[in-house]
Amino acid sequence: MPVFDSPITTDETNLKKVLGQKLPTLLLLFDSRQKNEPLEDALRREAKKNAGKLLTVRVDVSQNAKVHAEYNNLPTPAIVTITPAGFGTKVKSQAGNARTADLRAHIDHLLNDAPLAKAPLPEAKPTAKAASAPAGKAAHVNDATFKQTVLKSSQPVLVDFWAAWCGPCQVIAPYIDKAAGDYAGKVKVVKLNVDESQITAQQYNVRSIPTFILFKDGQPVQRFSGASPTQIQQMLQEAVSG
């Protein structure tokens, strides 16, 4: 296997082949119209430092929209860490609007399982109705209970696809529990562990986490990925008003 000591720039046609090197991979999604020299310099340093044990890959999403969509259109520059998994790959962590410190932290998480630091949870702006609702906990569903709890629900259901190792999932968890109480009786808010319920996660093409999918009458009607209370609040409000 060749040893790469500098970042590989590739495109949507060749990305799968590059990831076939079967090395842990740090994928940088960037927009060539936006310059970020400190991050690019850090990427080059990390590629040289970790040559032989880490693959560093760059994709210009302004020219490769399919790749950007595959990773849920994370705000650029974005970091995605990827591990070899069987005959394919698996996303281990991801971060949008990445900084140099994020690059180092995600590489350490990828190579050494170092925990990712928890960012402060942004304060949501609940409506008057939500503010007066009681606090609660989001229920947990799995492959066996998903159909009955989610697809057959008479209420809209917001599903949080998460995993125990996912830093952003842990950051957003308190807000998800609060939303479950705030919207009780209007929208079900549930959580599904993608490691424990891979069939459902694959069925809905969950490629990065946290991913949130809103179901109505058994059908997915909205989805996004990322730990954004604002987007979750908007989705819940639209579920109630729609």
Instruction: Express each pLDDT in 84-138 by its tens digit.
Output: 876 668 899 998 888 888 899 999 999 999 888 654 433 433 333 333 233 468 9
Instruction: Express each pLDDT in 36-92 by its tens digit.
Output: 888 899 999 999 999 999 999 999 999 999 998 888 888 889 999 999 876 668 899
What integer pLDDT is reported at residue 167 of this predicted model? 87
What integer pLDDT is reported at residue 188 of this predicted model? 95
Of the two residues 124 and 21, the one the predictor is more confident about is 21
Query: Which is catalytic among the residues 29, 95, 169, 209?
Result: 169
Q: Which runs of E-coded beta strand occur in the chain?
A: 8-10, 25-30, 55-60, 78-85, 88-95, 139-141, 157-162, 188-193, 211-216, 219-225
Name the 3-class secondary structure at 161. strand
What integer pLDDT is reported at residue 117 of this predicted model? 66
Is pLDDT at 199 greater than 50 in this prediction?
Answer: yes
What integer pLDDT is reported at residue 72 of this predicted model? 82
Closest listed residue to residue 186, CA positions, set 214, 161, 220: 214
Please give the model's pTM, rounded to 2 decimal places: 0.51
Instruction: Express each pLDDT in 159-195 by its tens digit.
Output: 999 998 888 999 999 999 999 999 998 999 999 999 8
Number of residues in the chain: 242
- 56, two tokens: 């560093």
Report the first-to-last Cα separation within the chain, whole angstroms. Answer: 54
Of the two residues 22 and 25, the one the predictor is more confident about is 25
Edge-to-edge order in the sheet of strand 78-85: 8-10, 55-60, 25-30, 78-85, 88-95
Beta strand 139-141 with 188-193 is parallel
CA 170 to chain centre: 12
Residue identified by tokens 């900084």 is: 99
- 169 labelled catalytic: yes
- 166 labelled catalytic: yes
Alpha helices in 132-228 (DSSP H): 146, 167-182, 198-203
Query: Which is catalytic among the residues 166, 180, 187, 235?
Result: 166
